[in-house]
């Protein structure tokens, strides 16, 4: 089996790049090596390597900037994905792609399922939804993993920002009315590998979208408090404690792009396919926090 990995220098891509070579021959491209908006270069990379699985982690993820850079967001999250889907269908390869809860408006009071009707409220979510739609109409074999609040040890993310501010400021305010869970690149990678192993054994999961998040429910405020508590327990020098973090509403923290208040995703469909049980978010996040705090000791 041969795997082509795109976006190998991102939060998720970096973790996949560490793990995928352990299960199959893997050719990984960072953005600097292959811009997925360069259609001809992408076609050549796929046709020359002839992968059995294309894993695409390349994405435009600057949610607020996307409101101003709509064309670029769509070029990366939609148009380039259409090319990948077309080439996967042509090559007879599986396409594994990653999407987001932001395809939903957050107005539902219970977790979203894979069959709920999308209704994005910002450009980023709309561009990701358009990419999903290109995949599903391409007739390629595909797995779309929808996830939330990705936080890992690589790149910039919420945890690193919170820790940096906690070492510099004596007060910190974090949103407490957006509900979801942080998801680690390690968990996403483990699920991806499980799916690829099934393909390798000719027991591929049914094509389609799968919600991929750990179990439980949280808020950004609780995630921040959990992180700071772990940092305190590990003697990270901080200017504030977990109890000093103030809870604020989304309405009090205005951003260019609207955010869904409900980012909860139902994972029963995924659980029926997995060979292992999904962890609770606190267990998943604690492992990430232990790695992230090393930068601040």
Active-site residue set: 124
Distance from C-alpha of 8 to C-alpha of 6, rounded to nearest angstrom? 6
CB atoms within 10 A of CB 275: 10
Whether the CA torsion 57, 61, 67, 72 is positive or negative: it is negative
Asked whether 55 and 25 are in contact (CB, 8 A), the reply is no
**Of residues 257, 293, 271, 153, the one with CA closest to residue 215:** 271
- Interatomic CA distance for residues 5 and 55, integer angstroms: 5
Residue 292's Cβ-count burial label (10 Å; 0-12, 13-18, 19+) is buried
CB 127 within 8 Å of CB 72: no
- Per-residue CA distances from 87 to 42, 48, 93, 130 (Å): 9, 12, 8, 17
DSSP code of residue 61: -
Cross-strand pairs, 144: 97, 209
User: What is the distance between the alpha carbons of residues 226 and 55, in angstroms, rounded to a whole number?
Assistant: 32
**Residue 223: strand, helix, or coil:** helix
Three-class secondary structure of residue 110 per DSSP = coil
Using CA atoms, how far residue 241 sits from 106, 161, 231, in Å, is 31, 15, 9
Q: Which of 122, 52, 58, 61 is nearest to 88 (CA)?
A: 52
């Amino acid at each position: 089996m041969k795997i082509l990995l795109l976006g190998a220098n991102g939060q998720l891509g970096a973790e996949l790049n560490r793990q995928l070579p352990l299960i199959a021959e893997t050719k990984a491209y960072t953005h600097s090596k292959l811009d997925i908006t360069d259609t001809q270069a992408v076609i050549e990379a796929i046709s020359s390597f002839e992968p059995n699985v294309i894993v695409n982690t390349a994405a435009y993820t600057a949610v607020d900037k996307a409101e101003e850079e709509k064309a670029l967001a769509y070029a990366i999250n939609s148009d380039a994905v259409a090319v990948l889907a077309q080439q996967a269908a042509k090559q007879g390869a599986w396409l594994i792609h990653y999407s987001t809860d932001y395809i939903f408006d957050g107005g539902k009071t219970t977790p979203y399922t894979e069959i709920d009707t999308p209704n994005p409220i910002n450009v980023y979510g709309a561009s990701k939804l358009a990419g999903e739609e290109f995949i599903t109409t391409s007739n390629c074999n595909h797995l779309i993993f929808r996830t939330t609040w990705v936080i890992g040890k690589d790149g910039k993310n919420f945890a690193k920002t919170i820790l940096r501010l906690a070492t510099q400021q004596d007060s910190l305010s974090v949103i407490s009315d957006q509900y979801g869970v942080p998801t680690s690149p390690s968990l996403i990678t483990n699920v991806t590998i499980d799916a690829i192993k099934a393909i390798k054994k000719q027991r591929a999961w049914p094509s389609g979208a799968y919600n991929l998040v750990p179990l439980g429910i949280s808020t950004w405020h609780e995630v921040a408090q959990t992180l700071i508590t772990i940092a305190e327990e590990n003697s990270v020098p901080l200017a504030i404690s977990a109890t000093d973090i103030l809870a604020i509403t989304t309405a009090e923290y205005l951003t260019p792009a609207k955010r869904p208040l409900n980012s909860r995703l139902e994972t029963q469909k995924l659980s029926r396919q997995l060979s292992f049980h999904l962890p609770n978010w606190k267990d998943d996040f604690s492992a990430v926090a232990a790695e992230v705090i090393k930068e601040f000791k």
